[in-house]
Amino acid sequence: MMLRSIHLAKVFLRMFARDRQALFVNLFVPITVMTILVLLSQDRDPIEISVANQSGSEIAAEFVKSLDENPIFSVVEGEAEALKKQVLDGDATLVLVIPAQFDDPDNATELVVLSTQPR
């Protein structure tokens, strides 16, 4: 049974390799579309993320630093209540609240994300 499947796969691959139109559509068109999309998306403004770091831990500081170093994001740090008010007023799009127990492996920790965008 296994040899039949392998033989059948070889036959289909040979047929596919002989069909130049199928090769073009399945290989070159996706590569061309991806290239065009990458070139069009390079000049985007960074996404502004407001971060309230309530944890004084080194891990949380490294997390915020890694967000800030990423060219996709523009990080604004502040206090949780002030940033929450900015989201409610529509002045901020996204707020990430890092809780005090962020680095505590014994307690289940979750990040609080506030956004004006519907999920």
Q: Are 57 and 83 in contact (CB under 8 A)?
A: no
Structure tokens at 26: 């399945």
Strand, coil or helix: what is 64?
helix
What φ, ψ does residue 74 adopt, rounded to 5°?
-120, 110
- Do 33 and 75 fall within a single domain? no
- Do 62 and 98 fall within a single domain? yes
pLDDT at 13: 87
- Do 56 and 72 fall within a single domain? yes
- Do 28 and 85 fall within a single domain? no
- Do 53 and 103 fall within a single domain? yes
CATH number at residue 96: 3.40.1710.10
- Do 15 and 67 fall within a single domain? no
- Do 58 and 106 fall within a single domain? yes
pLDDT at 116: 63
Q: Are 51 and 18 in contact (CB under 8 A)?
A: no
Contacts of 67 (CB under 8 A, 6+ apart): 49, 51, 73, 75
Say how many CA atoms lie within 13 Å of 29 toward its Cβ. Answer: 7
Its domain, for residue 35, covers 2-40
Block means of pLDDT (10 residues each) for the chain, length 119 residues? 90 86 82 85 78 84 88 87 86 83 67 61
